[in-house]
Copies of this chain bind each other. A is one copy, B any other.
């Protein structure tokens, strides 16, 4: 594994004292969560709650997955200022997003709905061809390997994991308090390290909501697996993009919701 959870990083968990049902004091490992603010050039974008282990990957990944930059955008620098809890992504040219926003804010503010509309427009243009396959045994192997990897989840709980995989091998294992952060960090890692998506498999411990489907499709990864459940709109979006969507993968069980032709 190129990146896996770092259990020894004292920045990521804290010891806390709790009181149990017998009114006895107990010592607990608890996950840290911090607000971090992201800027795209001069533009303040969002304040995120994160464990903050990979702020630069998180910043780049967020902008990519929100369609504020794209894979061709030339990144000049990614700065993380720990004293200000701020990530600044600087691009060579000002982005389409910033230009649209400047126009839009005058009339209706944050352009949040416009942004969502843009993401959906782009989503509609993506359809996976049947390039890659997945074997039933890989689903079992991946679930087992990921569950057995020592993680912040096993140490402290209250965290989600996302794992970029190839065949039956986990490659990049990111965790965060929100599954949207964990997937964004992987998107950022892929952009910075120029990782090709088309032969990859994405595994998440979190639910398969529309947001996770949209992000996986935007990242051009054709197969998405989760141990958790799914929503109707998530399934519909996966079917439109011909994404292979596998939910409730636990023990020997799983349910294929979309793109079953890819499963051997």
- Chain B, residue nearest A207 (CB): B158
Residue of B14, B44, B210 near A108 (CB, 8 A) is: B44
User: A156-206: which have CB < 8 Å to B?
Assistant: 156-158, 177
User: A197-228: which have CB < 8 Å to B?
Assistant: 207-211, 228
Number of interface residues of A (CB under 8 A): 60
Question: Closest CB-CB distance, A192 to chain B, in whole Å?
Answer: 25
Chain B residues with CB under 8 A of A260: 19, 23
Q: A21-B252, A210-B49, A253-B21 are in contact. Are A16 and B232 (CB under 8 A)?
A: yes
Question: Closest CB-CB distance, A231 to chain B, in whole Å?
Answer: 4
Check: A55 CB closer than 8 A to any chain B CB.
no
Question: Closest CB-CB distance, A262 to chain B, in whole Å?
Answer: 12
Chain B residues with CB under 8 A of A33: 209-210, 231-234
Q: A16-B257, A35-B116, A255-B20 are in contact. Are A45 and B110 (CB under 8 A)?
A: yes
Q: For the complex, what is the distance from the CA of A253 to the CA of B24, rounded to whole Å? A: 12
Question: Closest CB-CB distance, A204 to chain B, in whole Å?
Answer: 13
What is the oligomeric copy number?
2
Chain B residues with CB under 8 A of A34: 233
Decide: A44 and B255 in contact? CB cutoff 8 A.
no
Check: A37 CB closer than 8 A to any chain B CB.
yes
Given contact pairs A20-B255, A34-B233, A35-B116, enumerate 10 new A-B contacts (beta carbons under 8 Å): A30-B235, A31-B229, A37-B113, A44-B109, A45-B110, A49-B210, A105-B105, A105-B109, A105-B110, A158-B207
Chain B residues with CB under 8 A of A94: none
Binary contact track A9-35/B, C-beta < 8 Å → 1, others 0: 000011010111101001010111111
Q: For the complex, what is the distance from the CA of A26 to the CA of B228, rounded to whole Å? A: 17
Decide: A232 and B30 in contact? CB cutoff 8 A.
yes
